[in-house]
């Protein structure tokens, strides 16, 4: 795969020019963006995935759900429906996508969860439910909507300023797109990241006067959850790890530090588990997976009783300052 990406390097300047020109047309107002008179927060990235958007959306939901009527709006990647769908009791991964279904399952009653590939249309439909705030999931490149607050995520291990655009690199648009962000969060940082390291990263980012930079890390739970029960991570010995996410490296590092013995079955992000995949899993004694994969796998009765997921949360360095910026934006 890497060889193919290098072979395609001559396409990089073409992709760069097309996406750069598109942004310039929006910046100049030649292509129209729609603004709103109520809070719209966009969480996104410049790269093709794996920066931690889902945990960040959940962080914001937990931060705001007791004070505001919230709504999330996602594309609903790989769902089998079209147009606008508002999650309800009969919703499934097939109808709204895995990440929105995770939001709905986890925060039922605290947040409206909707999907629509047309973000303008999705916001218009959500307004009928009168939310106080809409969180746009993975919408940084959707320039037809002008969010009031843009939160850009980039990983510690592969920050956008060290990357190039597709198809050789992982960026969906040129690095200059970061200038649209109000807040830049460097995600998946080591827990012991020093102030010197942070300063060096900020120098590389070169934030504008209106931009704030924060650092976050992933915190894994010590407890596993299934449909029926919970277990301590320390209680399990030999298991099969199943991942269908963009970047499983942090999870692998966490489990290996625990000196746990496991087999890893690694699938592509948003993988559709086939009957063949499930048949291969039914003979495993214990299956550990991510929360996103769990919402897709738990529908299969033959593995449901031995299927567990490991929750993750975002640990934000300077959380008080970050939280206050979000709340100030909503109030003003």
55 and 143 inside one domain: yes
Output the domain CATH number for residue 215.
3.40.50
Question: What does DSSP assign to residue 137?
Answer: E
The total number of residues written for the chain in this structure:
332
157 and 299 inside one domain: no
H or E element at residue 281: helix 275-281
140 and 185 inside one domain: yes
165 and 281 inside one domain: no
249 and 178 inside one domain: no
CA distance 322 to 324: 5
CA distance 293 to 220: 16
Q: Domain range holding 226?
A: 222-310
149 and 293 inside one domain: no
The answer to the question of residue 197 being in a domain is yes
Which residue has tokens 């719209």? 40
Could you tell me if 222 and 310 are in contact, meaning their C-beta atoms sit under 8 angstroms apart? Answer: no
- Beta strand 238-243 pairing with 261-266: parallel
CA distance 95 to 105: 13
46 and 58 inside one domain: yes
The answer to the question of residue 89 being in a domain is no
Q: What angle do CA 81, 307, 281 make, to 5 degrees?
A: 85
The answer to the question of residue 22 being in a domain is yes
215 and 226 inside one domain: no
CA distance 198 to 156: 10
Per-residue pLDDT tens listing for the chain (332 residues): 678 888 989 999 999 999 999 999 999 999 999 999 999 999 999 999 889 999 999 999 999 999 999 999 999 999 999 999 999 999 999 999 999 999 999 999 899 999 999 999 999 999 999 999 999 999 999 999 999 999 999 999 999 999 999 999 999 999 999 999 999 999 999 988 999 999 999 999 999 999 999 999 999 999 999 999 999 999 998 999 999 998 899 999 999 999 999 999 999 988 889 999 999 999 999 999 999 999 999 999 999 999 999 999 999 999 999 999 999 999 98
How many structural domains is the chain composed of? 2
213 and 287 inside one domain: no
């Amino acid at each position: 795969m890497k060889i193919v990406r290098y072979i395609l390097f001559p396409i990089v300047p073409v992709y760069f020019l097309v996406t750069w020109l598109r942004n310039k047309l929006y910046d100049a107002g030649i292509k129209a963006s729609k603004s709103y008179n109520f809070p719209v927060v966009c969480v996104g990235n410049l790269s093709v995935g794996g920066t931690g958007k889902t945990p960040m959306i959940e962080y914001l939901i937990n931060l705001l759900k007791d004070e505001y009527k919230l709504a999330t709006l996602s594309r609903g990647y790989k769902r089998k429906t079209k147009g606008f769908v508002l999650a309800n009791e009969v919703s499934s991964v097939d109808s709204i996508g895995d990440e929105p279904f995770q939001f709905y399952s986890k925060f039922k009653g605290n947040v409206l969860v909707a999907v629509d590939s047309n973000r303008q249309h999705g916001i218009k439909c959500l307004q009928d439910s009168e939310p106080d705030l809409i969180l746009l999931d993975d919408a940084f490149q959707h320039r037809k909507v002008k969010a009031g607050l843009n939160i850009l995520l980039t990983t510690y291990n592969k920050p956008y300023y060290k990357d190039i655009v597709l198809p050789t690199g992982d960026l969906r648009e040129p690095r200059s797109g970061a200038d649209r962000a109000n807040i830049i969060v460097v995600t998946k940082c080591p827990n012991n990241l020093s102030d010197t390291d942070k300063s060096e990263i900020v120098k590389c980012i070169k934030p504008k006067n209106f931009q704030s930079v924060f650092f976050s890390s992933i915190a894994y739970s010590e407890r596993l959850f299934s449909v029926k029960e919970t277990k301590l991570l320390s209680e399990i010995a030999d298991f099969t790890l199943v991942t269908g996410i963009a970047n499983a490296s942090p999870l692998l590092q966490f489990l290996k530090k625990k000196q746990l013995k496991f087999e890893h079955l690694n699938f592509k992000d948003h993988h559709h588990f086939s009957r063949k995949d499930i048949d291969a899993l039914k003979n495993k004694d214990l299956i550990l997976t991510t929360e996103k994969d769990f919402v897709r796998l738990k529908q299969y009765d033959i593995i449901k009783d031995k299927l567990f997921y490991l929750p993750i949360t975002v640990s934000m360095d300077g959380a008080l300052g970050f939280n206050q910026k979000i709340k100030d934006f909503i109030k003003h």
